[in-house]
Amino acid sequence: MNKSCSDCLNKCEKKESILKKKCYEINVLDWLSNIQSPFEGQKYNIVEIQFKNNRKEFFLNQEKIFLDQGDIVTVETKSGIGHDVGVVYLTGELARLQIRNQTINSKTFRKVYRKSTYKEVNIWKYFKKKENTTLFKAKKIAKNLNLIMKICDVEYQGDGGKAIFYYTAENRIDFRKLIKEFAFYFHTRIEMRQIGYRQEAAKIGGIGSCGRELCCSTWLKKFKSVTTNSARYQQLSINIQKLTGQCSKLKCCLNYELDAYLDAIKDFPDFNRKIYTEKGAAQCMKIDVFKRKMWFSYIKNPNTWFRIEVKKIKEILEKNKIAPPLEELSTINTIQKTELTFKDLSI
């Protein structure tokens, strides 16, 4: 849905041209827009509003104002002081489907006041333009006070009545002097909000090693803890430089396929168990989860690996329980001998 320059976030300025551009992009497709709802008399009155850096919240359209995707609206603030301005992101059935997957108390929804007036939109644009200069000034003030912190972003309330400063820090920070300085220079209410390094990367944005825009800055809103075990279960080498993202933390995408791997290895024998043959004991060196095969090597000769199916390994382990070792790995028909050409045997 194209909006004219007077109704969008940034003003397109082109000399000697009357071309109108789409300045504020909505990266969601309303695939229900042309489908008539069977509950036309009971339209869903919750809408999702987008603010700066893809921050989205749900609001109650109590007055049943006709809202379409991309409309600029004036909404209630958390403190109840003043108002905020945002852009409608989802409406109707799409908003209902989106909120169904989230644990949100419907009693906490704030209200949509109205579609923003021309004056409110101009004030909103003014403070949006002011955010960059405020950020640079805030960083300079924090540096002069010798505070060990990093101010990542600044977000003004729609009416300019409050400024939220997002920051990251390792230790606790004493903000008493800092807030006094901010209030003196910026003449507004100040709120300091600490975020994690993943949230910082989401606000800044960027391109990942996959060549696509960062998940955290587009669609990923809930951050789960990621450990090196996620890489080990997927048989990835523990190379920190490759496994870490732009936030210097382990990549969130390491968890995407983890459940599939965990389900696949449930039927595998314990990797730490050794098998015993006439030639000696052998230990597991590597596994192929989806081909259901395991690589074993003799403890005395770790540079030669033997590939064996999981079913055969289970048979050998059962024989080890009731009888002495009767066969060598090299006599098993399903084994393929492989000579290693590298020194690093870590998984």
pLDDT in tens, 137-193: 999 999 999 999 999 999 999 999 999 999 999 888 888 899 999 999 999 999 999
Mean of the pLDDT values across residues 218-233?
85
The residues facing 284 across adjacent strands are 296
CA dist., res. 61 & res. 90, Å (int): 12
**Percent of the chain whose pLDDT exceeds 90:** 31
Asked if 193 and 175 touch (Cβ cutoff 8 Å), the reply is no
In this model, does residue 76 exceed pLDDT 90? yes
Distance of CA 22 to the CA centre of its chain: 27
The length of the chain is 347
In this model, does residue 3 exceed pLDDT 80? no
| Whole-number pLDDT of residue 337 | 47
| Whole-number pLDDT of residue 83 | 93
27 — pLDDT class (breaks 50, 70, 90): low
In this model, does residue 56 exceed pLDDT 90? no
Q: pTM for the complete prediction?
A: 0.68
List domains and CATH numbers for the chain. Answer: 5-116 (no CATH), 123-195 (3.30.300), 199-263 (no CATH), 268-339 (no CATH)
Angle between helices 118-144 and 176-186 (to 10 degrees): 140
| Whole-number pLDDT of residue 256 | 92
Q: How many CB atoms are located within 10 Å of the residue 202 CB? A: 23
Can you spell out the DSSP letters for 66-86? ---TT-EEEEE-SSSSSEEEE
Cβ neighbors of 320 (< 8 A, separation 6 or more) are: 275, 276
346 — pLDDT class (breaks 50, 70, 90): very low
Q: Is 220 helix (H, G, I), strand (E, B) or coil?
A: coil
In tens, the pLDDT along 263-280 reads: 888 888 888 888 888 788
